Amino acid sequence: MSIFGIMRTGVSGMAAQGSKLGAVSDNIANVNTVGYKRASTEFSSLISEGNHSEYNSGGVETTTRYAISDEGLIMGSTSKTDLAIRGNGFFVVTDAGGTPYMTRAGAFVKNGSQELVNSAGFYLMGYPIQNGDPTVVANSLDGLERINLANVAYEANPTQSGTLKGVLDSNATVIAAGTLPSDNVAGSTYSSKASIVSYDNLGNKKFLDVYMAKTGTAPDTWQAVVFDQAGATAGGFPYAGGPLANVALAFGPTGQLTTAPANFTVAIPGGATATIDFSQVSQVATGETALELAVDGNAPSAVESVDIAEDGTVYAVFENGARRATYRIPLATVPSVDQLTPQSGNVYSVNNMSGDVIVGFPESGSFGSIRSGALEQSNVDLATELTAMIESQRSYTANSKVFQTGSEILDVLVNLKR
């Protein structure tokens, strides 16, 4: 047995326990850090080869493990941009230089450029979907861009579609030819009238007058005529420029619509050509006509807030209440999550031990879902860490006693000459 071996073993033990205390101190310091994953120190024996007639003390070596795959407690918050992942996956973020990382720390806020940034300064990445569903690069973090809502602020959408639904009165008086709304003369009359708001390409409001007039019986026929309200004469007929749309409707013996196709087009002044679906119109003996016409489009409006769905779709909510899907947040993972390399800022990078990155959308495959207005807490258990600290402290003291004993034996040996 080597006296120096005893001392080296004691030093090895103290170093190992010091490493464990370091992991414990980090865990305790980050007990309230959002998305933090606890570290632990594992020990393995180190055997010295030597003369088999006596014991040769070896030592202990340490390996640091990270419980990255252990999900922390998810708690609600008051901010819609606070995000937590329920299940597998990581948010993809980048630093200011564009280097991609993965993280579970989802405390994101909008910066001055309307980008979503977490408390460590990393930018949330996503796929833009303004031009349709994105194609995921399944084995790479390329193709993503910073989620930025400034690009959709004060955006106007022209009216492109609408729906006409309701019931017509089968007992309405037939309007004589020459005085129909489509005739657009001073004496034109009608069975019912409604006014709606549509939007041109710049978001200007365009008011439309919609007239319904019964034109015949057996079979019952009607006409729907649309005019630009700006062309009305003293609020009525005739309208300058004539009708924007004129469609004939026919109904069967049970009041069902028999006209095909069940839609017509309206050229919005200064805007797009809108397609109006009237397949939900019917005719019964109601005593009155009750119709509802709804169209899409909106005036220019700033982004007021952000809504994020569980499938990762980011909706910009405008001041006028309109919603628009702008981005889709992907999730990333690797085959061996606990082998990821931790970096400052509570982020992780891929290495050879973790395997290549896998990217997909929330709620698809093995990926979990995103919860808005919530944060994943640290997975550190304070009681466990304090217990481990006491154990490590005792072990460190015992190893120091081994070193002290070896030192005393060496001192005896040196003094034998005296």
Number of structural domains the chain divides into? 3
Shared-domain flag, residues 88 and 180: no
Residue 51, pLDDT score: 64
Shared-domain flag, residues 291 and 313: no
Q: What is the 3-state secondary structure (H, E, C) of 377-389?
A: CCCCCHHHHHHHH
pLDDT at 213 over 80: yes
Shared-domain flag, residues 187 and 281: yes
Q: Which residues contact 98 (CB under 8 A, 6 or more apart)?
A: none
Residue 153, pLDDT score: 66
Shared-domain flag, residues 268 and 174: yes
Q: Give the model confidence (pLDDT) of 296-312 as tens digits.
A: 988 887 778 889 999 99
Q: Give the model confidence (pLDDT) of 45-104 as tens digits.
A: 877 776 666 777 778 888 899 999 999 999 999 999 999 999 999 999 999 999 999 999
Q: Which domain holds residue 266?
A: 161-295
pLDDT at 413 over 70: yes
How confident is the model over 268-278, as a mean pLDDT? 93
Q: Give the model confidence (pLDDT) of 166-210 as tens digits.
A: 899 999 999 999 999 999 999 999 999 989 999 999 989 999 999
Read off the CATH number of the domain in which 224 is found.
2.60.98.20
Per DSSP bridges, beta strands 59-66 and 39-46 are antiparallel
Shared-domain flag, residues 125 and 192: no
Shared-domain flag, residues 254 and 313: no
Shared-domain flag, residues 57 and 36: yes
Task: State pTM to two decimals.
Answer: 0.68
Residue 37, pLDDT score: 94
State which of 241, 261, 295 marks the end of a domain. 295
How confident is the model over 220-246, as a mean pLDDT? 93
Residue 335, pLDDT score: 94
Per DSSP bridges, beta strands 192-199 and 290-295 are unpaired
Shared-domain flag, residues 370 and 384: no
**Residue 79 and residue 85: Cα distance in Å, rounded?**
15
Shared-domain flag, residues 172 and 194: yes
Encoded tokens for 111: 């910066």
Residue 134, pLDDT score: 77
Element (H, E) at 161: strand 161-169
Shared-domain flag, residues 261 and 314: no
pLDDT at 1 over 60: no
List the one residue out of 166, 218, 211 whose CA is nearest residue 188: 211
Residue 225, pLDDT score: 95
Q: What is the mean pLDDT of the chain?
A: 89
Shared-domain flag, residues 285 and 320: no
What's CA 15's distance to the chain center, in Å?
A: 45
**Residue 158 and residue 113: Cα distance in Å, rounded?**
27
